[in-house]
Amino acid sequence: MTRPDISVVVLSYDRVHLLKRTLTEGLKQVMAPGRSYEFIVVDNHPDELAEDMVNSLAASGAPITYLADDRRNISIVRNKGIAASRGTYVAFIDDDEAPDARWLDELFECLERTGADAAFGPKLPLFESGKAPDWDREAWLYTLDFRLPADAPIEMFGRFRRKGKGLGSGNAAFRVATCFNSAEPFSVAFGDANGEDTQLLFRLALEGKRFVWCPAAIVREFIETDRTKPEYMVTRMKRGSQHYAASRINTSDTPQMTRLKVMGLGLAQFCVHAGLFLASFEFLSRTRYTQRIGMAKGLGKLSYRAPIGFIDEHAA
């Protein structure tokens, strides 16, 4: 069997209705002549909900493999997909995302051209309701787009994050030889609530690995209506801030000092946004949540020892 140039790992739990969209578009990838890819789906549901669909695609000749592991730890599942991958690069896409036709080719070309260790592309929202929620009309909290030129370096430390979603493993491709050269690329200790990719990126960055931006490698995330509720986003932002704090401390050479810095940042963040929450009368508004989200980020850093865990999302 010919070895693919790039492997795509997709994790699935109970969103099989969205996974179908991911795989339908993913298997339409247009690659330059001589290049090839494979998809590996790792089913994390105890009832193996994705098995029939994936095996049906494989039987039709699609370059796709089905694996299953019901241990509820996302790092274990990611690592299983990596172990089965045969490509020089491994890309990840979430089961609620669908890639543009040249997504994989753009990631592959970017890594080949730059020699970087990992490349990341934009995530653009596609709302089930047809529009962004009233409290986030520009959909910034559902968008990952650094708006950098092609091949621009991405710095993990030393600057405030750009507006929008933070960096993760979704819509990213990694050089296996430099990023996944250990038995446990994603830390199992961080796999119980999706903080594993933050920990990985911090660790790789501290090892000197190079990250670059690939603006033409676009995926479109399907946002179901339940996820447009502001309460959901407040919880999501608090959890993300918990991941940031735990990962920064875990990967630091001076964890005690880093813990003090992170806790101080969280306290300042909470206090500033709490003051603005009151001063701006945001508590009287149903369409303004900026300060509430800011407070949630501060509380996340302060409460990182009591992680929120998996957020229940309704499956169709």
**Domain-located, residue 257:** yes
Q: Tell me the average pLDDT across 92-113.
A: 97
Count of CA atoms in the C-beta half-sphere (13 A) of 96: 20
Query: Among 195, 227, 259, which residue terminates a domain?
Result: 227
> In this structure, are residues 292 and 282 in contact, taking their beta carbons and an 8 Å threshold?
yes
Rounded to a whole number, what is the distance in angstroms from the first to the last CA of the chain? 37
Could you tell me if residue 312 is inside a domain? no
DSSP code at position 227: G
In terms of residue numbers, what domain contains 116?
A: 6-227
Q: What are phi and psi of 9, to 5 degrees?
A: -105, 125
| Same domain flag for 110 and 127 | yes
The reported pLDDT for the residue numbered 163 is 55
> CA 147 to CA 137: how far, in whole Å?
19
Q: What is the CATH number of the domain that holds 76?
A: 3.90.550.10
Same domain, 198 and 128: yes
Percent of the chain past pLDDT 70, that is, above it, reads 94
Domain for residue 314, yes or no?
no
| Other residues' Cβ atoms within 10 Å of the Cβ of residue 275 | 12
Q: Give the whole-angstrom CA distance, residue 93 versus residue 87.
A: 15
Instruction: Say how many CA atoms lie within 13 Å of 108 toward its Cβ.
Output: 22
Residue with tokens 């051209």, as numbered in its chain: 113
Do both 137 and 286 map to the same domain? no
Q: In this structure, are 87 and 184 located in the same domain?
A: yes
pLDDT in tens, 33-81: 999 999 999 999 999 999 999 999 999 999 999 999 999 999 999 999 9
Q: How many CB atoms lie within 10 A of CB 144?
A: 21
pLDDT of residue 316: 33
Taking 3-state DSSP, the helix, strand and coil percentages for the chain, each rounded to the nearest 5, stand at: 40, 15, 45
Judged on CB neighbours under 10 Å (0-12, 13-18, 19+), 306 is exposed
176-228: pLDDT as tens digits: 999 999 989 999 999 986 689 999 999 999 999 999 999 999 999 999 999 99
pTM listed for this prediction: 0.93
Residue 97 shares a structural domain with residue 207: yes
Whole-number pLDDT of residue 166 = 79
